[in-house]
Amino acid sequence: MAGFARATASPSSAPALLTGERLVVFLFAARVALAAPAGLAAPLAALAAAALAVELAVDGSAPASSPLRRFRTRPGASSGILLGATTLPSVMLSRLIQRSRLLSADPNGPEEFAYLEMQYWAASISCLSVLAFFLWHLRRAPSNGISKYFKYGSLSIALYLMTYFLSFLLKTDGGLMVMTNMVYMLCHGVAAVILIKHILEKFPSCSSFGEALLVSSGLVLYFGDMLAHTLSKMDFFMSSKEFIHTPGTRSDMTTIIQGNLLGLFLLPLLYKSSLQFWDYCGMEGKQQTQAAEEHTRKRIGSAVFYISLLVVLMFLVPSWTHLVQGLKVHPFVWIINYMFTDSHERLALCAYWICVIYVSVRRFYSISKQSKTERILLRKYYHLVAVLIFSPAVIFQPAFLDLAFGAAFAVFLTLEMIRIWEIYPLGHVVHQFMNAFTDHRDSEILIVSHFSLLLGCALPKWMSSGLNDRPLAPFAGILSLGIGDTMASMIGYKYGVLRWSKTGKKTIEGTAAGITSVLAACSILVSLLASSGYILSQNWLSLLIAVTLSGLLEAYTAQLDNAFIPLVFYSLLCL
């Protein structure tokens, strides 16, 4: 197995073509592509080929002379470009395959299918554009080996574009439809390039190329969904049906979650703009000492932040939800009404969550300050807490859990802004508390571990809404992170002897424990779901493949596994 170990290329040696991570990603993409129609599988294959060529070029270039050296990535992590470029398109293609099975039973199925297909192309084009951006920088690389990968990558991108053009030309009659779709996809690609450039420059050493690629393409897809639904409600010269098929089956809850999260993502723009305007207007102010001026600036900055947050949540978000969904009440009022409808189960669940979170946070924070417990084990205890918190809700209150995930992510996002900008009076307190749970993947600029754990559990649940032919799919994050990753780390740390590679820390014993524990948990869940009335159609051979591939990915990848493993596992469960 050492031959599959992750390669760290040196300037004098070419990178190994086949590593453990690349092999697992190839098997994952091949599994998804084989289940898809040829017209949709071919672009995924071309995208994977382009990503592999770019990754080999990046890993094979000397760090000191690499054209991408101005982008400082997370120390100790491989580039991860192949994994980052194929994950989101594979997830969208798996959802598309799952949706195709439900077309006959759902009257809104064709409309949902058409929109989901458009999202698949948008995710793929976003990743492809970032790969083209990397290739554009690598064209100046001096090494002959790098130039070879540059040619292969360029050829793969050209093949992808050919399949994309042919797909739309064969499905549409008029040139206007083709042109509008191309413009729509081009906007996604340009936005993804701008966003990943911003992430790599503004947050140096916080992520690998693959992690930044996953985040940028995911955010662009999410913003693009918001833009499409917004344009579909406006009276332009071109109707939404001529531009893009936006399904009309969105729930109020989905719109509220999306509106609040996107409002918080736009909050930094409003905050920075307000600060710049304040500085411009205050240029004629009276002179102060440096200490007093800094103190005043922090107080003013804090006030501007809270005002900006209030404007976003109280005015901008309600305006958007009213436009898109026709929601006539404020989102917060809607949430309160929802909470107290069928209130016994929901309030009991909230009380249970508060008790578990309070006890676990207080206990683990005390342990982190006083004991010599390994930080990796302490963090895995939170994975187990995630199982305790989320599993009952997925079974008994799945819709309410969607709302709870959105609220938790909004709180995390707000607290991280407060920590980064040192907003008075909580900035220093939040920074001290969060530092107790950081590891080598976090930095002073960004603490991402809690985000990745929450989103790793939330995304499979969010994407499974309305699709119930694979009841295990909503549990993908909870199973892979809360059980599989935790057991692999604990067993591997305490009893692991045989390592997958000479340079890595992951052990065969840990991986086997993770795979076995997830399979055991799935068998228990199947019994619980069957007793709850679900009609189970999960093939056990497919389940074994999904569990094994996600377990092997956890063993080999140097990327942020909380982000990738749940998406890979969810994608395989949908097939």
Give the DSSP per-residue string, 383-449: HHHHHHHHHHHHHH-HHHHHHHHHHHHHHHHHHHHHHHTT-TTTHHHHHHHHHTT--TT--SS---H
Region 234-262: what's the mean pLDDT? 71
**What pLDDT does 22 receive?**
92
pLDDT at 190 over 90: yes
User: What token pair was written down for 242?
Assistant: 């001529």
Q: Is the pLDDT of residue 536 over 80?
A: no
129 CB-side CA count, 13 A: 23
Q: In the prediction, which pLDDT does 498 show?
A: 85
Average pLDDT, the chain: 82
Give the pLDDT score at 323: 85
pLDDT tens-digit series, residues 418-445: 988 888 888 888 887 777 666 666 666 7
Do 414 and 309 contact (CB within 8 A), yes or no?
Answer: yes
| Torsion from C-alpha of 403, 406, 410, 411, nearest 10 degrees | 60
Q: Looking at the predicted structure, is the pLDDT value of residue 219 above 80?
A: yes
Considering only CA atoms, give the Rg of the chain: 24
Q: Quick check: 236 pLDDT over 60?
A: no
**Does residue 75 carry a pLDDT above 60?**
yes
pLDDT in tens, 79-125: 899 999 999 999 999 999 988 887 777 777 778 888 888 899 999 99
Is 241's pLDDT higher than 80?
no
- Every domain of the chain and the residues it spans: 18-247, 253-278+292-340, 342-572
Residue 204 tokens, joined: 């140096």
Say whether pLDDT at 10 is over 50.
no
